[in-house]
Amino acid sequence: MTFQGTVEAPSDGRMYADEREEARQIQLSLLPERGLKEAIFEIAYRYSPFAEVGGDFADFFNLPDGRAGLYVGDVVGKGLPAAMYATLVMGMLRGIHKTGQGTADALALLNRRLLVRPVKGRYSAMIYAVFDPASGELSFSNAGLPYPLLVSKSGCRALGQGGVPTGLLPDSSYEPCSVQLAPGDAVLFATDGLHELRDGDDRDFSWDRLAEIWQQCGCKSAEESLDFLFEEAKGFSEGDSQKDDITAVVLKVHPVAAGAALGCRLASSF
């Protein structure tokens, strides 16, 4: 059999670009397609990788008992190797959260499973949280991610405490934390790529600036809050490219409709 003409083999550069795009599509398939809106609360998120793929991850979901779970994580490193490890962590988490484990126990179990076959130089900081819309209680455990920020009528404050990243040390344990959320309250979970943005004078975004911006989001929806936050962050960095993956998730308890509308109108009149 003879062939007429030749078929040009793809160049190494084109093959690499195709593989990166395929990896990006696979990673995006593991992220939520959209936010979660329920009668009592809503969850929104933004994902902005440093490169085509990254080491940040996030997910949120309804649990069989009526509660909602969410997690946000940040794998050490960047690019394709970090994305592959993030995929491993997410796969394990999806098996664990379905068992109904408490947040601290879930992180401890994840840590043990990651260390059965450890990947040298890889570990993951993350927060796992569960919200009960019937009681308004948010419970969570932190494995080395920046503290969540709560915005409420009384202001803005950091929640909980830190912890050891998963996949790093054997026998790590995690503290269960909880906070009672009221109508209109919102909690921001974010990876350190947001906190560590820098401006033209090499000043970082800082906790204080983040809290100041977040306090202005009291009358905004979860989606509007993230839009506002990321616009402010973009303005602060003066258009410079980010230096790390950035992921943010907002849990917002719906305000009482009439009271919230009046409060927002009064706030906008000053």
pLDDT given at position 54: 76
Residue 184 and residue 218 in contact, taking contact as beta carbons nearer than 8 Å: yes
The Cα–Cα gap between 20 and 18 comes to 5
What does the H/E/C string look like for 100-160? CCCHHHHHHHHHHHHCCCCCCCCCEEEEEEEEECCCCEEEEEEECCCCCEEEECCEEEECC
Rg value, the chain, Cα: 21
Task: Spell out the domains of the chain, with CATH numbers in brackets.
Answer: 33-268 (3.60.40.10)
pLDDT at 240: 61
Q: Tell me the torsion sign for CA atoms 5, 11, 17, 19.
A: positive
What pLDDT, on the 0 to 100 scale, is given for residue 270? 43
3-state secondary structure of 233: helix
Q: Which residue has the tokens 């790390």?
A: 244
Dist CA 53 CA 8 (whole Å): 28
Kindly give the residue spans of alpha helices, DSSP state H, lying in the chain.
12-29, 79-97, 103-114, 192-195, 207-215, 222-236, 257-268
Phi, psi of 235 (to 5 degrees): -65, -40
**Whose CA is closest to 58, among 26, 27, 102, 99?**
27
Instruction: Compute mean pLDDT per 10 residues along the chain, 270 residues long, and list them.
Output: 48 64 66 89 88 81 92 87 88 80 94 94 95 97 96 92 94 96 95 84 84 88 93 79 80 72 45
| Closest CA relative to residue 179, chosen from 147, 206, 211, 207 | 147
pLDDT score of 170: 94
The answer to whether the CB of 169 falls within 8 A of the CB of 125 is no
pLDDT at 181: 97
Which of 123, 119, 125, 69 is CA-nearest to residue 94? 69
pTM: 0.84
